[in-house]
Structure 1
Amino acid sequence: MALSVSAPLCRPLAALCARLAAASARLAPALAARLRARLANDVDQYIFEEVVLERWFNTGGTLQFTHDVKRNLVPAFAPPNKSASHCNHLPKLLDACKLLNMDYDDARRLKNNLSKHTQIGAESLNNQGIHNIQLNEAKQILSQRTDLCDPTAPSVVMEMF
């Protein structure tokens, strides 16, 4: 089945796009760009804290989240005259998508490196092109991937069911 905008994101995204378009039509281009960047920063931080750091991600959830970020949120903050792929207004969410979509073996290796030493973990994140998420946040995101959860830990996702 083809992916579409998540139901909880649909109305707020439509309102955001309409209001950004209206503001861009009334403001000077420089002010519109600053408004777009500021809103993107606030949305990036909010969704990162309230969704990414608070949820478990299985394969389907990862696919939907990545679709919502890359196909819906990123274009919403792109200036009208630029391609969305050239904009980086949501750096934390895009880095979270990288972590969530990493191959299982690479993600497991990265998670182990993050648990060892700070220097090794920082180098490992840089090698993956992840620059906007702190080490502890990256480790937390990887720990919340259902395929990487520790089966001996008491807070395993399967115990919730």
Structure 2
Amino acid sequence: MFRWVGMPSPKEIVSPALSTSACEMMLVLRERLQCVEQLLAKPLFMLVWQRVAEVLNAFFYEQVILENSFNEGGAFQINFDITRNLFPLFGQYTQKPEAYFKDVKEACQVLTMNTGSALLLKDVLYCALHDPKSDPNVMPSDPIACLQEQGLYKLLPEQVEHLLRRRLDLS
């Protein structure tokens, strides 16, 4: 099992590299997709790789990101693994591979956003979701608008709040 909480700070990393736990998976995935591409007609292969992307998006989001806690280095590493390795792997089949991994992409944004923005967003979401009547003289912030300001369009406020709780630097 990979330890996302024990990763060194990004400031300590000289040359980022694919995590060892993801390396073999990415190699096998690339090899299998290439084999299937050679065996199937183009329209059928398109359906296959899109389905694989859909399943991987759900797996990484639900089984890796939501089930772990992340220090700053762990958040950096998973973001690197996804954006610099998984997306380019699917970039062979589409101009915008990140469009097939929206949950994972946005989760990585939440995990890697700067601490000040994350704390502010955490406070806005807490007030909107748990304490809507805190001060009648203060206009409450729209949580959806706050998410959209951060480039988050797919994830719901409750999901983002859960992701923010996965960050050890905000505890």
TM-score by length of 2: 0.79
Structure 2 residue 135 is matched with structure 1 residue 113: no
Secondary structure of residue in 1 paired with 2:100: coil
CA deviation string 1:2-22 (max 9, x = no partner) = 121111111121111101011
Structure 2 residue 86 is matched with structure 1 residue 64: no
How big is the shift at 1:79?
3.1
Structure 2 residue 144 is matched with structure 1 residue 122: yes
- Counterpart of 1:14 in structure 2 is 27
In structure 2, runs of 5+ residues without a counterpart are 1-13, 130-140
CA deviation string 1:56-88 (max 9, x = no partner) = 1111111111110001111122234x55xx222
Which structure would you say has the larger Rg? Answer: 2
Question: Aligned partners of 2:56, 2:28: CA distance in 1, in Å?
Answer: 14
- The answer on whether the counterparts of 1:37 and 1:77 sit within 8 Å (CA) in structure 2 is no
| Alignment equivalent of 2:100, drawn from 89, 94, 107 | 89
Secondary structure of residue in 1 paired with 2:17: coil
Secondary structure of residue in 1 paired with 2:154: coil
Question: Aligned partners of 1:6, 1:32: CA distance in 2, in Å?
Answer: 28
How big is the shift at 1:52?
0.9
Instruction: Name which of structure 1's ranges 58-67 and 123-132 shifts more when overlaid on structure 2.
Output: 123-132
- Point out which structure has higher relative CO (alpha carbons under 8 A, 6+ apart): 2
**Corresponding pairs, count:** 146
Q: Which runs of 4+ in 1 moved over 4 A?
A: none
Structural RMSD (CA): 1.6
How big is the shift at 1:47?
1.1
- Counterpart of 1:140 in structure 2 is 162
Secondary structure of residue in 2 paired with 1:147: helix
- The answer on whether the counterparts of 1:40 and 1:90 sit within 8 Å (CA) in structure 2 is yes
